[in-house]
């Protein structure tokens, strides 16, 4: 399929979850601007903690924006953390537009609390929406692409499949007041790398972004503030959506299993974990004393508080 210049996603169908506001809305609008037909998913609950009654109006408003600009869009008001509703979301895309080509997982909630104060429900609800919600949609999208690949004629090109997942710098930096959110976002990276390996042979790419933006979910961290020079807000969600559109495009066919930090006109490619040091037992099995002799001086020589978390990512900004 050859798309016209400037509209590389024409003829493609995208699903964007949590697409009624903030990042999801910006992503849905950008994909539509580049030619994609978009299924705008949002549960429509008013609370950023997932509270309130479900409402169709927020998703329908984004659909109306896309249609007013000449695009095609359909609303889906459902909970992606519900297995059956996630199945229905993928089915809606396929039945409405003939196929699913792009899946952008963005839906999420916040229920912040220090680990010593967090309730079971605060843990379960955040992990459910973020991590299970990502799994559910990926599961049914992957099934769709696998079936298309199996039905393809011998020698046919791979199916076109793109998944963009939403992780967070909270996972990278170890956000102290968000153990549920950081754990879910770390799990999304594991789901991303596993899915990238499993779906590569079908022509499907799977990547994750860690976006920083001023949205309803981050209003306590990034309160509303107009740029001093009257320019573009560096934390506007529109700084994130071009990377999502790129990863959804034909140009990114060779990009998979990657994690990106993106905000304010900057994209950082995160490096995979590497072995920092290795210690071997003198015999077949370590003793505690031997480990003490090796590890204690090793950590004594390292900067205090340095661990696996990478808080330095929070200092990233465009020069």
Sheet of 161-166: strand order equals 73-76, 37-41, 13-16, 102-104, 161-166, 204-211, 259-263, 266-269
Q: Which of 160, 167, 175, 181 is catalytic?
A: 181
Active site residue 132: no
* Choice among 160, 175, 185, 202 that is catalytic: 185
Burial class (CB in 10 A: 0-12, 13-18, 19+), 198: middle
Match 């298309």 to its residue by tokens: 148
Total number of residues shown for the chain: 319
Question: Of 125, 167, 168, 256, which residue is the catalytic one?
Answer: 168
181 is catalytic: yes
d(C-alpha 37, C-alpha 262), whole Å? 25
CA distance 160 to 308: 36
Catalytic residue IDs: 168, 181, 185
């Amino acid at each position: 399929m050859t798309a016209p210049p400037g509209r590389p996603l024409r003829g493609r169908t995208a699903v964007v979850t949590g697409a009624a506001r903030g990042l999801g809305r910006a992503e849905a609008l950008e994909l539509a601007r580049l030619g994609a037909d978009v299924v705008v998913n949002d549960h429509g609950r008013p609370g950023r903690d997932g509270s309130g009654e479900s409402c169709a109006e927020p998703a329908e408003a984004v659909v109306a924006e896309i249609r007013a600009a000449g695009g095609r869009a359909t609303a889906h008001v459902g909970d992606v953390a519900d297995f059956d509703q996630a199945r229905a979301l993928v089915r809606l895309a396929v039945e409405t537009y003939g196929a699913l080509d792009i899946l952008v997982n963005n839906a999420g909630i916040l229920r912040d609390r220090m680990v010593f104060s967090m309730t079971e429900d605060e843990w379960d609800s955040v992990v459910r929406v973020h991590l299970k919600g990502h799994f559910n949609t990926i599961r049914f999208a992957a099934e769709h692409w696998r079936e298309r690949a199996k039905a393809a004629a011998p020698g046919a090109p791979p199916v076109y499949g793109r998944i963009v997942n939403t992780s967070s710098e909270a996972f990278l930096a170890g956000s102290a007041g968000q153990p549920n959110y950081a754990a879910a976002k770390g799990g999304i990276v594991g789901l991303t790398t596993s899915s990238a390996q499993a779906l590569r042979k079908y022509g499907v790419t799977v990547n994750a972004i860690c976006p920083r933006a001023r949205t309803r979910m981050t209003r306590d961290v990034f309160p509303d503030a107009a740029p001093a020079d009257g320019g573009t807000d560096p934390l506007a969600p529109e700084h994130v959506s071009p990377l999502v559109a790129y990863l959804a495009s034909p140009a990114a066919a060779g990009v998979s299993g990657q994690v990106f930090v993106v905000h304010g006109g900057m994209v950082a490619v995160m490096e995979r974990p590497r072995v920092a040091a290795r210690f071997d037992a003198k015999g077949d099995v370590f003793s505690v004393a031997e480990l003490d002799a090796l590890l204690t001086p090793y950590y004594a020589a390292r900067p205090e508080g340095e661990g696996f978390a990478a808080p330095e990512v929070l200092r990233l900004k465009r020069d």
